[in-house]
Amino acid sequence: MNGGARPGLDLSVIRDEVLAVNAYAVPDSTGLTKLDAMENPFALPADVARALGEQLGKVPLNRYPPADPRAFKELLARVIDLPAGMALLLGNGSDELIHLVIQACARPGACVLSPWPSFEMYDLSSRFDGCRFVGVPLAEDFSLPREALLAAIAAHRPAVVFISWPNNPTGNLFDRATVEAVLAAAPGVVVLDEAYLPFAQDTWLPQLARWPKLLVLRTLSKMGLAGIRLGYLCGDPAWIAEFNKLRPPYNVNVLTLAAAGFMLERRALLDEQAALLRAERGRLLGRLRSLPGVTAFDSAANFVLFRVAGGSPAADRVFARLKARGILIKNRAHVHPLLAGCLRVTVGQPSENDAFLAALAASL
C-alpha cells in the first residue's frame, strides 16, 4: 500500500522503479524572467507568425498524420545535409527517441552507459525500460576520463552509450579522440546527442558512414521550436528500421510537421537568432568571470554553468535570492558531487542577461 494513497487504493501493481522516483518537475515561471530551460528567448517576428498561422489554418485536423511523412523527411534531410545512404526517424522530441533506442536494446540485464553527470533522461529512460544504468563520472574539469570510460565499457558491455555533445549540464565539448575510442570499443550503439548544435556548430553527422554503430540524435527545440516537440535520429537504415518498429503510430502530429516544415524553409531566421545567442554567451561568460566568488565554465551550448563560492548551501541561497528578484535559473548543486555549488543559466536576450547579472551581483 502506498503511504500517500487513500484507504483501499493499492498501488502495489506499479513497478518499484516507478514508485521510487518523482515525476519530471517543471517549475512555475509565471511573472519571472525564465532562464532555466535552455529555450530560445526570441519570439517569431509578427509577419512570420501571421504567415505560420495561415499555414497551420490549412492543416486538416480531422485526419491522422501521414504514417511516413516522406516529403517532410526529404526536406529535413536536405536542410541538415544528411549523408547519402543514411536514414531519419522522427520523434516527439528527442526524449521519445532516447526511449525507443533503449527499448529496442533492452534485453534482460542490458546496460546503458553514459559519462556523468549528463542529461537525466538517459538514466530515467533506462530504468523505466528495464535496463541497468551506469554513469561514469567525468574528470574534475568535466572532460571524458578515457581510461575509466573504456574500463566501464569492457566491464559492463553496454547495449547503448549516450554522449551529450556538448554535454548538459556542463556545457563543454569532449575530446573527439576519446569519443572515437568509445566508438571503437562499444559493443552496442553509441548515440551522440547534438541537442545544442546551433550553438556548438560541431557535428558527428559526416562520420555516420565511418562508424556503423554511431547514431546522431538532434532536436529542433534549442533552435527556437521547443513548443512543437520534434526530434530526429540519424543513422544507418538498418538501425532506423528496427527502432521504427517501436515508434507509436502517428507519434508526430500534423501541426508539428506543418510548423517545422514552415520554419525549416526559413532557417536563416533561426540561424540569425542562434548567432545572436552565441555572441551573448561570450558576453555573459565575461561578465560572470568578473564577479568575485563566481567560477564560470566554458560552454558550447546556449547555457552557462557557474559555481559560487561556499558550496551547495551558498548555491541554494543564491538561487532563492535570484528567484525573489524575479529571475528563474536552474539549481544543479545537488545533482552530482562534481556539480557542488553549481547553478546553470540559459543565455537570454541582452536585456534578460543584464537583468540576471544585476540580480546575481546583488544575490552573492
- Domain limit, last residue, from 266, 296, 315: 266
pLDDT tens per residue, range 206-234:
999 999 999 999 999 998 999 999 999 99
Residue 1 pLDDT > 50, yes or no? no
Work out the pLDDT band at 179, boundaries 50, 70, 90.
very high
Assess if residue 7 is contained within a domain: no
Average pLDDT of the residues in 67-74: 94
pLDDT tens per residue, range 293-311:
999 999 999 999 999 999 9
Q: Quick one: what percent of the chain has pLDDT higher than 70?
A: 99
For residues 352 and 25, the model is more confident at 352
- For residue 102, give the C-alpha cell: 533503449
Q: Are residues 194 and 98 in the same domain?
A: yes
Assess if residue 3 is contained within a domain: no
CB 231 within 8 Å of CB 220: yes
294-296 sheet: strands from edge to edge: 294-296, 303-308, 342-346, 330-331
CATH code assigned at 73 = 3.40.640.10
Q: Are residues 126 and 212 in the same domain?
A: yes
Q: Are residues 274 and 255 in the same domain?
A: no
Q: Are residues 24 and 117 in the same domain?
A: no
Q: Are residues 74 and 142 in the same domain?
A: yes
Query: Alpha-carbon distance 158 to 170, whole Å?
Result: 23
CATH code assigned at 277 = 3.90.1150.10
According to the model, what pLDDT value does residue 42 have?
Answer: 95
- Please state which of the ranges 22-26, 172-176, 213-217 shows the lowest mean pLDDT: 22-26
Q: Are residues 251 and 313 in the same domain?
A: no
Q: Are residues 261 and 280 in the same domain?
A: no
Assess if residue 198 is contained within a domain: yes
111-116 sheet: strands from edge to edge: 87-91, 231-235, 214-219, 189-193, 160-164, 111-116, 132-137
Q: Are residues 74 and 33 in the same domain?
A: no
Assess if residue 51 is contained within a domain: no
Where helices occur in the chain by DSSP H, the ranges are: 16-19, 46-57, 70-80, 93-105, 120-128, 146-156, 176-185, 197-200, 237-244, 254-264, 267-289, 311-324, 350-363
The predicted model scores a pTM of 0.95
Q: Are residues 155 and 31 in the same domain?
A: no
Work out the pLDDT band at 114, boundaries 50, 70, 90.
very high
Long-range Cβ pairs for the range 16-20 (8 Å, 24+): 17/127, 17/128, 18/128
- Domain limit, last residue, from 222, 244, 266: 266
- Residue 234 φ/ψ, nearest 5 degrees: -115, 140
Q: Are residues 76 and 97 in the same domain?
A: yes
Domain that holds residue 173: 62-266
Q: Are residues 88 and 194 in the same domain?
A: yes
Query: Alpha-carbon distance 309 to 139, whole Å?
Result: 20
Work out the pLDDT band at 4, boundaries 50, 70, 90.
low
Query: Alpha-carbon distance 334 to 332, whole Å?
Result: 6
Query: Alpha-carbon distance 177 to 23, whole Å?
Result: 37
Residue 333 pLDDT > 60, yes or no? yes
Assess if residue 9 is contained within a domain: no
Q: Are residues 122 and 241 in the same domain?
A: yes
According to the model, what pLDDT value does residue 223 have?
Answer: 87
Average pLDDT, the chain: 96
Domain count, the chain: 2
Q: Quick one: what percent of the chain has pLDDT higher than 90?
A: 91
Assess if residue 8 is contained within a domain: no
- Domain limit, last residue, from 222, 250, 266: 266
